[in-house]
A and B are shown apart, each in its own frame.
Chain A
């Protein structure tokens, strides 16, 4: 792949930050947007902006077609069986909340157990905590291995007759751990439990086939996969979505409204009350086209090379601590701490060099406790990053370390 050519598709990569060329190493927070996505949304607003599923005029039909075409695109991208299984949401967080609220309330009873673990993003812990509180259920934590992975035996040990739901991330946004979702789904199903997966850090970076994984629910976001903010996807098996109650009510999601009661329309629109994110669906469609053109496996390979290179270079820095599994077992991100430099100070120093990294608790406070750190820094990579950028990053890390070790 010609990364230089790919970079030209991303206008923002030509920006300067603090007088330096931008080096964007914060894709795990949000990815950058290629011109094709920006233009697709631009065209929508300039040429056929209109509401969907309403009225009969030409623009309305065009907007509805684009909105539903995007759904078909998502369906084939993750190989869902039916388009009814693809629900648009505001993002991964909203998708998980929909599962925890609607499906959770349906199947969880007092004394039941919900299996989670410490590597989860707050978006995949807090909704389950709240469900457990509403129902008097228990959260059971699968212990993590020392290298930040999850052993299948530990998953099995966490299961009991009371387990109803296993909620787990596909890829950790802090450790870079790639969980064996297929095997974990098998274990969950063998115990008559359901599995709900946070795929926000997986779908942008590796081929995901929801039928192959045999997951019950799978959530991800548009803005982490070259698409716009404000749109995400909940995949759910049709027979489960069918049983679930909506959690938002209003226009579009009804079948018929009487004075004192109403009935709901079919999947998936039952869960899409109100005017949806139409421009964002158009953008997501263009983002998937762009990923398909490059090839998701090529993207995965490129990130693997970048992360292996960065891992070796970073490991050689004295006083660095890297969290999570070794370079062969991780996704394209590295979370670390440099001895004697607080991550915020590190991020400010790197920012002055035009390098964007994340610093903080990464919305994973239980995991920070597990790492025995109050805060960490994270560099994350994507299709548009280069080996040269990593060299610059390493050089700046060394310089930052020197700056803060200086006796002021």
Chain B
């Protein structure tokens, strides 16, 4: 017995983000807070952001979930830090493409998020990886309405 195919999913960079999450916590006096959960499995995520003049000045996450959902959140915060909101939303779209096995465009300045590409081979886990991005999209959509 071996876990070869698991190595494809649980790459070391993913486990590194899971065990040593970046930007974990709450942005005090942030301009935006969004929460999302995955009712089928119980994963929960909260994002707090400070957006100034269309730029994400600060972002933090906290939540409960598996290595895929938590590492994805950690990677996302690094990728979108100091980026314009439009760029972050583009990344969300590209990330979604990557998960769906479609053509995607992810560049080096987006940090480690491409490490999750292997998740697309595990259909039952795609929602874990996309939870944090869905939360981000929801947050921006809600703040647009205000």
Interchain CB contact under 8 A, A345 and B10: yes
Residues from 331 to 387 in A contacting B, C-beta threshold 8 Å: 342-345, 348-349, 351-353, 359-361, 365, 368, 374-375
Contacts of A368 in B (CB 8 A): 42
Docked Cα-Cα span, A404 to B18, in Å, equals 11
CB distance from B19 to the nearest CB of A (A): 8
A342-B65, A343-B66, A408-B15 known; A399+B10 contact, CB < 8 A: no
Interchain CB contact under 8 A, B41 and A359: yes
CB distance from A390 to the nearest CB of B (A): 16
Segment with Cβ contacts to A, from B51-59, B92-100, B120-128, B133-141: B120-128
Cross-interface CB contact of A374 among B9, B15, B44, cutoff 8 Å: B44
Contacts of B9 in A (CB 8 A): 348
Q: Hey, what's the 0/1 contact readout for A221-241 against B, CB within 8 Å counting as 1?
A: 000000000000000000000
Contacts of B41 in A (CB 8 A): 344, 359-361, 375
Contacts of A360 in B (CB 8 A): 40-42
Interchain CB contact under 8 A, B44 and A399: no
Q: Closest A-chain residue to B40, C-beta based?
A: A360
A396 CB-CB contact with B under 8 Å: yes
Docked Cα-Cα span, A404 to B19, in Å, equals 10
A45 CB-CB contact with B under 8 Å: no
8 residue pairs bridging A and B, Cβ less than 8 Å apart: A344-B68, A344-B125, A348-B125, A374-B44, A375-B41, A375-B64, A404-B67, A408-B14
Q: Closest B-chain residue to A368, C-beta based?
A: B42
The total number of A-B Cβ pairs within 8 Å is 62
B102 CB-CB contact with A under 8 Å: no
A18 CB-CB contact with B under 8 Å: yes
Give the interface SS of chain A, mostly helix, strand, loop or mixed: helix
A344-B125, A359-B41, A375-B41 known; A399+B3 contact, CB < 8 A: yes
Closest 3 A-B residue pairs measured CB to CB? A344-B66, A408-B12, A408-B15
CB distance from B108 to the nearest CB of A (A): 21
Interchain CB contact under 8 A, A342 and B66: yes
Contacts of B128 in A (CB 8 A): 344
Contacts of B16 in A (CB 8 A): 408
CB distance from A210 to the nearest CB of B (A): 33
Q: Quick one: which of A18, A360, A368 has the most chain B CB within 10 A?
A: A360
Interchain CB contact under 8 A, B42 and A345: no
Interchain CB contact under 8 A, A348 and B124: yes
Contacts of A344 in B (CB 8 A): 41, 43, 65-66, 68, 125, 128
Q: Closest A-chain residue to B119, C-beta based?
A: A348
Q: Closest B-chain residue to A376, C-beta based?
A: B42
Q: Closest A-chain residue to B14, C-beta based?
A: A408
Docked Cα-Cα span, A345 to B3, in Å, equals 13
Interchain CB contact under 8 A, B42 and A365: yes
List 14 additional contacts besides A349-B3, A404-B67, A408-B11; criterion CB under 8 Å. A344-B41, A344-B66, A348-B6, A349-B6, A352-B6, A359-B41, A360-B42, A374-B43, A374-B44, A374-B65, A375-B42, A375-B43, A399-B3, A403-B3
